[in-house]
Amino acid sequence: MNFLATALPDNPIAALEQAGALLPASDGSIGSTINVLLLLTVLALVPSILVLCTCFTRFVVVLAVLRQALGSPSLPPTQILVGLSLLLSVVVMAPTLERMYDDGIKPMIDGEITNSEEAWKKTKKPIREFMFAQIEAADNWSTVYMMLDYRGVDTSDPRKLTMDDVDTLSLIPAYVLSELKTAFLIGFRIYLPLLVIDLLVSGLLVSMGMLMLPPVLVSLPFKILLFVLVDGWELVVGNLLQSVAAPEGVAMLMTSGGFV
């Protein structure tokens, strides 16, 4: 199993081919046995891919902050928030996933690409462009510099670096940190108006001498009413979808131009 530990992080397709060569009655090609292994591997990696390489992190954090701002920790239920975040992520990521399939996976299945390195490079390029686009839109390059600096890459002059200099293992955690920062900024803008209602209700209860009545209990109906009157779900989800940058604008920078 040593080959999996070394090949999988860098090239999962090569790891699958090597695994196929070790299976009984296999010639090492992408056959029925390797298809089964490929399916099992993809199923095992799907949760990590959704959390780390898509906008799922941004969506679920913002919706969780919204639930906290409303003052109802169990409403909507966690399953609803996760399911909605997942479906929104699929909608947003559909063009990128289609490009990954058309550029790398389909040619490999059809036999147009026989080199696993080339297939993996073409498959990961669209998702890398997507992650770079979000970092560029949020101007969170400091997370990329931090990861590169930790891995020993000279970041003293970012203008000399290109996006091809950022390996995928450094890009993914930098992207997650960028998404968390973006999500908290969006959540702050959502939280602030609802916090004003809490302050007004608290001040009113204090002035009336009703100190034993929890302000959250009184403000919750007003916050829900305000949220419904302004079509809060439509506003939040619409702004979340619009906050995701298109990867086309950053694609031209993948091989030239640097970060700044």
pLDDT score at 6: 43
pLDDT score at 248: 64
pLDDT score at 78: 86
The DSSP-derived string for 154-207 is: --S-GGG--GGGS-HHHHHHHHHHHHHHHHHHHHHHHHHHHHHHHHHHHHHHHH
pTM above the 0.75 mark?
no
pLDDT score at 234: 87
- CB-CB contact of 158 with 259 (8 Å): yes
Return left, alpha or beta for 11; rule: phi > 0 is left, psi -120 to 50 is alpha, else beta: beta
pLDDT score at 169: 81
* pLDDT tens profile 87-122: 888 888 888 888 887 877 777 777 777 676 777 778
Q: In the predicted model, what is the mean pLDDT of residues 10-18?
A: 56
Q: Where do the domains of the chain lie? A: 1-45, 54-251
**43-95-247-175 Cα dihedral, nearest 10 degrees:** -20
pLDDT score at 148: 81
| Cα gap 239→189, rounded to integer Å | 11
Beta-carbon neighbour count of residue 57 at 10 Å? 22
Look at the block and give the residue holding tokens 């990954």.
100
